[in-house]
Amino acid sequence: MAKKIRIGLIGGGEGSFIGGIHYRAAMLDGYYELVCGAFSSDPEKSKRSAGVYHVDPQRAYPGWKEMFEKEAAMPEDKRMQAVIIATPNYLHYPQAIRALENGIHVICDKPMTISLEEAEALAGKVKETGLVFALTHTYTGYAMVKEARQIIKSGKIGNIRKIVVEYPQGWLSTPVEETDNKQAGWRSNPEFNGPGGCLGDIGVHAANLAEYISGLTIESLCADINSFVSGRELDDDANVLLRLRGGARAILYASQISAGEENPLKIRVYGEKGGIEWQQHEPSTLMLRMLDQPAQVLRAGQNYEYLSDIARWNLRLPAGHPEGFIEAFANIYRNAATDILRYMGTEAEGTEFAEYPTVYDGVKGMQFIEKVIESAQSSNKWIPFD
């Protein structure tokens, strides 16, 4: 894996939170080299960001369309091969489509688009091109989340009966979108953000995590969504009952008015013989509780032979050396890289573990948002999924 994948970045200009994360996640394991960017819709700002991202100022473009154009014109051994899309949601779709049309692999932030329709169209395009499309559902990048999935897959805890997945945050407890908080700003505008407020921002993470870990899919749901802060157009709190195919039931909630909470995304899955529990604030720990036995504390650690191969592949350190959010994010980059490299004809180590969220997870996410909103507006109790 000597050659690095040449990648460009759209978004991530001054005041961006997620840009720096994408950058670090891409850098961490050495698979990528950032060669260009359209860091801001403001050409001046975009230029200034070249320094921040150690990019040749000539390749800090004033706009994303120009970036695709100019890069396409560069010699094949110089031009970008992949692109990071870290822009407000409404831009994901046009940018991703353009990248794919130019033969460029995509690593895209979530939620994938601002409508299910867009999401399905994008999935069609990905299929058509055969290019790699990774969606940064960070949380399934954690090694111990992958371990949880393996445990459930193995049948160890038996058929699943119940899932509780919760994602409480408190940062929108006040109308921060009315301050100059850039994050809160565009997220509060349905035009830029899409229809789901906390649904789109974090609800889709919760749904994705539940389906990923359990291997189950949603059959129908019943939701109550709210907008607690006065003047806020989009939901800031969502409570959902779910029925999963095969008979399991679930509770999912996402909230951004849970005052005092940081980011403790948490999931519990209960089967006939045992249960598992994982929480993002302590991501290196996975609890496994078998009926009438002492609970077991499974811990991240490359050295732990009791972990599955895939979990260990997604770790970099021995036990007791915490890996965090950036490392989980980087796992998506790393696993996508092995697929990109394979596409390019280079077989990289770890291809058998090259698992990461794709355009199909993005489609599901958009479907989830739309169904929850439909349910919230309906007096029917259960809204079926197709």
Which residues in the 301-340 window bind its own copies by CB under 8 A? Answer: 301, 303-306, 316-327
By beta-carbon proximity to its own copies, the closer residue of 70 and 161 is: 161
Q: Is there binding between residue 169 and its own copies (CB under 8 A)?
A: yes
Q: Which of 14, 29, 120, 219 binds its own copies (CB under 8 A)?
A: 29
Structure tokens at 302: 């490359």
Kindly indicate which of the ranges 26-34, 77-85, 194-202, 332-340 contains the residues binding its own copies, using the contact rule CB under 8 A. Answer: 26-34
By beta-carbon proximity to its own copies, the closer residue of 17 and 343 is: 17
Residue 362 CB, shortest distance to its own copies, in Å, is: 22
Those residues with Cβ within 8 angstroms of residue 174's Cβ, 6 or more apart along the chain or in another chain: 229
Structure tokens at 120: 């399905």
Q: How far is CA 161 from the centre of its chain?
A: 26
- The interface with its own copies within residues 265-294 (CB under 8 A) comprises 268, 270-275, 280-284, 288-294
Q: Is there binding between residue 162 and its own copies (CB under 8 A)?
A: yes
Q: Is there binding between residue 52 and its own copies (CB under 8 A)?
A: yes
Residue 291 CB, shortest distance to its own copies, in Å, is: 5
Q: Which residues are registered as beta bridge partners of 36?
A: 8
Rounded (10°) angle between helices 204-214 and 359-377:
120
By beta-carbon proximity to its own copies, the closer residue of 118 and 235 is: 235
Kindly indicate which of the ranges 53-61, 111-119, 198-206, 208-216 contains the residues binding its own copies, using the contact rule CB under 8 A. Answer: 53-61
Taking only Cα atoms into account, the Rg of the chain, rounded to an integer number of angstroms, comes to 21
- The interface with its own copies within residues 171-210 (CB under 8 A) comprises 171, 173-174
Give me the phi and psi of 38, to 5 degrees please: -120, 85
CB 302 within 8 A of CB 312: yes
Of 29, 59, 40, 125, the closest CA to residue 332 belongs to 29
Q: Is there binding between residue 244 and its own copies (CB under 8 A)?
A: no
Q: Is there binding between residue 50 and its own copies (CB under 8 A)?
A: yes
Distances (CA, A) of 77 to 6, 66, 80, 349: 9, 19, 9, 23
Residue 55 Rama label (left phi>0; alpha psi -120 to 50; beta) = beta
Q: Which of 166, 211, 235, 370 binds its own copies (CB under 8 A)?
A: 166
By beta-carbon proximity to its own copies, the closer residue of 174 and 217 is: 174
Q: Is there binding between residue 161 and its own copies (CB under 8 A)?
A: yes
Given the DSSP bridges, would you call strands 5-11 and 32-38 parallel, antiparallel or unpaired?
Answer: parallel
How many angstroms separate the CA atoms of 234 and 342, rounded?
42
Kindly indicate which of the ranges 102-110, 189-197, 202-210, 258-266 contains the residues binding its own copies, using the contact rule CB under 8 A. Answer: 258-266
